[in-house]
Amino acid sequence: MPKKNLIAITLLFLAFAFVDISLAATIANLSPVFKPYRDANKGIKIAIRSFEEDGHARLVSLDPETFTTEVVDEGAISFADVKTTEWKGTRFIHALHKYTAPVAGFENQGMRSAEVKKGGLFLTMDLCPSTKGFDRDAFEATEALGTPAPIAIAVSGLWIERHREEFDWIRREESEGRLAITWMNHSYSHPFDRLREPKENFLLTPGVDFEDEVLRNETLLLENGVTPAPFFRFPGLISDASLLEKLKALSLIPIGANAWLAKGERPRNGSFILVHGNGNEEGGIEKLLKFYGENKGVRLLPLKEAFERK
Ligand SMILES: [Zn+2]
């Protein structure tokens, strides 16, 4: 091939690579808001975040009946004439108050299983920062149960930044319809020191800026085209009454678990199963695969179906 053509092709490749990079949105000034409004179909929605995406004013909008979130243009929304009575009785607001109410202790606060008897289970997987590869076999075994397979992934920002290839793989499974993912926030840096007591560890570590941990992770998710769900998983399942209060102010529901497989807890109907898919908890993944093998026809459900209907 003539050298000139080679240079031209190389330049073309570089140009495409550059275009690809420029497609990633720039997200700035992500802030918590609480602004109910009525959408075009007369349904009540609540804007829970405002931010700028490549300079355009956007909102993260929550449907307080279905627990789904989406990004909308702020300019297209009118906040006029919504009465408190219209949003106060919604399923989301009910659950938000219920699961962020102050309780004693530090462990596994928030929602731990379905509110109603369910013929199925809820799989939650934590992706805490890790230097290991991820447990692709757990995803594939879950998909083998029937697709799209519902899974709630609690992801930390540092995991995404150190596992780009794995993150892209999961996103592809989602976009091609093999996984139906509820993206939960697991904080950005997921502080942890194995020598510290729970009450001074994880997000209770002195000096940690809780709101920054939450919003920085959401910013990263939005930059990657993921709209975060209104759910939060405390790292280590460790929190206290003050963090619950702060979480409520951020309109996020804490999600605990009653079937942490690596700890020997057994799933029953309506359980929130907890496994780590970041290579750090092989025992949990083994138990999940064994559970699938021994319970043919096990049915997984999306997290939003764990909440009772009015
Ligand atoms: Zn974690």
226 lies in a domain?
A: yes
Please report, in tens digits, the pLDDT of each residue of the chain (310 residues total): 556 665 555 555 554 444 444 457 899 999 999 999 999 888 999 999 999 999 999 999 999 999 999 999 999 999 988 999 999 999 999 999 999 999 999 999 999 999 988 889 999 999 999 999 999 999 999 999 999 999 999 999 999 999 999 999 999 999 999 999 999 999 999 999 999 999 999 999 999 999 999 999 999 999 999 999 999 999 999 999 999 999 999 999 999 999 999 999 999 999 999 999 999 999 999 999 999 999 998 999 999 999 998 7
**Ligand 1 center to 238 CA (angstroms):** 10
73 lies in a domain?
A: yes
**Ligand 1 center to 115 CA (angstroms):** 24
Residues 173, 77 share a domain: no
10 lies in a domain?
A: no
Q: Assign residue 236 a region: left if phi > 0, alpha if psi is -120 to 50, beta otherwise?
A: left
**Ligand 1 center to 127 CA (angstroms):** 6
What distance in Å separates the CA atoms of residue 113 and residue 106, rounded to the nearest whole number? 18
**Ligand 1 center to 30 CA (angstroms):** 23
Last residue within a domain, chosen from 88, 115, 134: 88
Residues 180, 42 share a domain: no
Residues 163, 35 share a domain: no
Domain CATH code at residue 140: 3.20.20.370
**Ligand 1 center to 2 CA (angstroms):** 54
Residue whose C-alpha is closest to residue 112's, from 309, 306, 310: 306
Residues 286, 172 share a domain: yes
Peptide bond into 148 cis (omega under 30): yes
**Domains held by the chain: number:** 2
Residues 276, 162 share a domain: yes
**Ligand 1 center to 274 CA (angstroms):** 10
Condensed to tens digits (0 to 9), the pLDDT of residues 206-256 reads 999 999 999 999 999 999 999 999 999 999 999 999 999 999 999 999 999
Domain span holding position 46: 27-88
Residues 245, 300 share a domain: yes
244 lies in a domain?
A: yes
**Ligand 1 center to 246 CA (angstroms):** 19
**Ligand 1 center to 43 CA (angstroms):** 35
Residues 253, 127 share a domain: yes
Residues 83, 111 share a domain: no
Residues 115, 54 share a domain: no
15 lies in a domain?
A: no
Residues 296, 156 share a domain: yes
Amino acid at residue number 86: E
**CA angle, residues 55, 25, 76, in degrees to nearest 5:** 50
CB atoms within 10 A of CB 216: 17
> pTM to 2 decimals?
0.92
**Ligand 1 center to 189 CA (angstroms):** 10
